[in-house]
Amino acid sequence: MNEYDVLVIGGGPGGYVAAIRCAQLGMKVACAEQYLGANGKPALGGTCLNIGCIPSKALLDSSHHYEFISAHAAEHGITVGDASIDVGVMMKRKDKVVQTLTMGVAGLFKKHKVEWLQGQARLLDNRRVEIRSTAGPEKTETVTARDIIIATGSAPARIPPAPVDHDRIVDSTGALAFTAVPQRLGVIGAGVIGLELGSVWRRLGSQVVVLEALDTFLPTADRAIADEAFKILTRQGLDIRMGTKVTGTAVAGDAVTVRYELKGGLHEITVDRLIVAVGRKPNTEGLDAAAAGLKLDPRGFIEVDADCRTNVANIYAIGDVVRGPMLAHKASEEGVAVAERIAGQKPHVNFDTVPWVIYTWPEIAWAGKTEQQLKAEGRDVRCGTFPLLASGRARAMGETAGMVKIIADAATDQLLGVHILGANASELIAEGVLALEFEGAAEDLARTIHAHPTLAEAVHEAALAVDQRAIHF
């Protein structure tokens, strides 16, 4: 029986990062991962690298280039003939990006001497784990570890009215592998996944209808940012219908009929493909948590304390299977923290500064709290906003949609939230995260020199606007 200092279950951005950090700290480490790629071969990286963050961004980038050439290049004096999209080539590029990165993780495992156990892990008692192979001849082995880190991630949530058939009705994984652009596309869910996937196929020519059960668009985002994003995305062609309740679907030939309720009335649409993007659920099935005595909450999440410890000694859980946002970078930071905690260090993860990003175009990114959250808490705040319409760099790029909003405490000026809607918001938010992490003030950003002309100047101007002294607006 193989024995390890640490066994990590799950090779996604939480698990593989935890495994590497444990190895860096001198531990004997193994990582169990059951995922098989489309080619039937084992692959590391989890949902994020294989069927989530990375492939979706590859397609978003490809579709963005196509839309620019088709609709905006002429504004720059660039004339292109009838542009066309070869979906097969686009998908091959996406697959190549994924393969390169997953092979990179495997290379990192070799470098750090992390043993990759290719199979599904099932918890036994006394920190014993059964590994059943998922590739090649079926075999099982039992390993033990002094400490176990569970990082099994999440899976797409399902709803009874729209059963996924992996053909006409698909989840996010299926939406990343269409072989042709659907003329009519339905999306259930106007969250991060629904908006991103809807954007990909809209740019490539689909007529996209998004059905969202909530009455409020992006309720976790700042209201000013969300309202402006709704206007922009609607102008782009996303038909977003809020307050809809999907009641049923029917597949007939190459079409899907979707029935839904809206404002007390019964409606239906017919589409060629339907994407179910109603969130994700913790991937704890198959772990046999009960055998190890692990406590799960009613929704299937593993219960942990502030340090990611479960109720069972020496077993930790991180990432999408525990409380908090289902974000790859949050999982990675938890993985590092747990590895260092096992090594006797005293790490800390500040969940108040975890950045959020939605990769529509313009992008939506934020860190810290929203104005509505702070008002609900009774906090007295000051806000500064700056529209990208007034940014010289944004104007030169032809990317003037969006704004930056900064929120600070009215008495102390401490930064409480940074919210960005605009081109490259995913990159710009890093400055806000750093300032929040250091408990900076709006004045700190306002007094920091920003290069000109840059999009980052909008952050500078929004900080100035907190004190009503923006220069360019």
- For Cα atoms 308, 311, 317, give the angle at the middle one, nearest 5 degrees: 30
In this predicted structure, what is the pLDDT of residue 235? 98
CATH fold label, 2-156+281-349:
FAD/NAD(P)-binding domain (3.50.50)
- Which sequence spans correspond to the domains of the chain? 2-156+281-349, 169-278, 353-466
210: part of which helix (H) or strand (E)? strand 207-212
Helices of type H across 4-67: 15-24, 46-51, 53-67
**How far apart, in Å, do the first and last CA atoms of the chain sit?**
68
Within 10 angstroms of residue 126's Cβ, the number of other Cβ atoms is: 6
Beta partners for 186? 209, 274
In one-letter notation, the amino acid at residue 201 is W
Which residues are bridge partners to 203 per DSSP? none
Q: Roughly what angle, to the nearest 10 degrees, separates helices 457-466 and 425-437?
A: 50
DSSP string across 67-107: HIIIIIGGGGT----S----HHHHHHHHHHHHHHHHHHHHH
Pick the CATH number of 169-278 from 3.40.50.2300, 3.40.720.10, 3.50.50.60, 3.30.465.10: 3.50.50.60
Q: Whole-angstrom Cα distance, residue 461 to residue 473?
A: 8
Q: Which two tokens stand for residue 380?
A: 């007295």
Assign 184 to helix, strand or coil: strand
Active-site position among 65, 452, 460, 472: 452
- Return phi, psi of residue 317, to 5°: -140, 140
Low-confidence stretches of the chain (pLDDT < 70) are 1
Contact indicator for 335, 151 with CB cutoff of 8 Å: yes
Alpha-helix residue ranges (DSSP H) falling in 410-471: 425-437, 442-446, 457-466
What pLDDT does residue 38 have? 84
Q: What is the pLDDT of residues 198-236, one digit of tens each?
A: 999 999 999 999 999 999 999 999 999 999 999 999 999
2-156+281-349 and 169-278 share one CATH topology? Answer: yes
Q: What is the pLDDT of residue 157?
A: 96
For position 368, what pLDDT does the model report? 98
What does the alpha-carbon distance between residue 331 and residue 318 come to, in Å, rounded to a whole number? 6
In degrees, rounded to 5, the angle at the alpha carbon of residue 151 between the alpha carbons of residues 198 and 364 is 30
* DSSP β-bridge partners for residue 129: 123, 143
Secondary structure class of 335 (helix, strand, coil): helix
**Separation in Å, CA 429 to CA 386, 407, 424, 426, 468:** 15, 14, 9, 6, 22
β strands within 253-318, DSSP E:
255-262, 265-271, 273-276, 280-282, 315-317
pTM: 0.96
Whether residue 72 lies in the annotated active site: no
Q: What are phi and psi of 354, to 5 degrees?
A: -70, 125
Domain 353-466, second-level architecture: 2-Layer Sandwich (3.30)
